[in-house]
């Protein structure tokens, strides 16, 4: 069997598609900072991706390069959310006070309880 040589016009179309795919999206420093702040507030990368229209892979690269997980300082804020819940505040109120999503409140409270259980 003999290999077919693609027609010249198909070859040009293929190289044009490759060139278009090679162009990268650039992001402003404000977008970058907004993504980092959202992450530090407790949002997942998938949520940030949807809100800011930035691919998850890009967010993952930023996260690892800048070591966002070390900046998070999670245990204190989880404790604060837990204490507010123990004092009788509702999740909606806690979310408003901490400027985070309501679902994140539940996640943080659960994390704090898990952290306390592993220490004991």
- pTM of the model as a whole: 0.47
On whether both 85 and 109 belong to a single domain, the answer is yes
Question: What pLDDT is recorded for position 3?
Answer: 63
Lowest mean pLDDT among 43-47, 83-87, 96-100: 96-100
Neighbours of 63 (CB within 10 A): 16
Domain membership flag for residue 1: no
Q: pLDDT-based confidence at 99, cuts 50/70/90?
A: confident
Q: For residue 89, give both structure tokens.
A: 């505040």
Claim to verify: residue 85 and residue 102 sit in the same structural domain: yes
Record the tokens describing residue 30, joined without a space: 């404000």
DSSP state of 100: S
Please tell me whether residues 34 and 55 are part of one structural domain.
yes
Query: How many angstroms separate the Cα of 80 from the Cα of each of 12, 33, 52, 59, 96?
Result: 60, 24, 28, 27, 13
- 57 and 78 both lie in a single domain: no
Question: For residue 7, what pLDDT band results from cuts at 50, 70 and 90?
Answer: low
Q: How many domains does the chain have?
A: 2
Domain of residue 98, residue span = 74-119
Is the confidence at residue 27, as pLDDT, over 80?
Answer: yes
pLDDT tens figures, 59-92: 999 998 988 876 776 677 778 888 899 999 999 9
Q: How far is it, in rounded angstroms, from Cα 65 to Cα 45?
A: 15
Please indicate, yes or no, whether residues 83 and 114 belong to a single structural domain of this protein: yes
Q: What is the CATH number of the domain that holds 107?
A: 1.10.10
Asked whether residue 47 is domain-assigned, the answer is: yes
Number of CB atoms found within 10 A of residue 78's CB: 22
pLDDT(108) > 90: no
User: How confident is the prediction for the chain on average, in pLDDT?
Assistant: 82
Among residues 40, 45, 89, which one has the least CA distance to residue 109? 89
């Amino acid at each position: 069997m003999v290999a077919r040589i693609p027609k010249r016009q198909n070859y040009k179309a293929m190289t044009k598609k490759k060139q278009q795919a090679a162009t990268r999206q650039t992001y402003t420093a404000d977008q970058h900072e907004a993504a980092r702040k959202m992450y530090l507030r407790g949002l997942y990368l998938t949520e940030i991706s949807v809100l800011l229209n930035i691919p998850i892979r890009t967010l993952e690269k930023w996260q690892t390069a800048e070591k966002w997980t070390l900046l998070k300082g999670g245990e204190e804020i989880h404790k604060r959310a837990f204490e507010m819940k123990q004092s009788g505040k509702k999740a909606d109120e806690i979310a408003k006070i901490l400027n985070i999503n309501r679902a994140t409140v539940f996640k943080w409270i659960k994390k704090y309880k898990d952290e306390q259980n592993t220490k004991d």
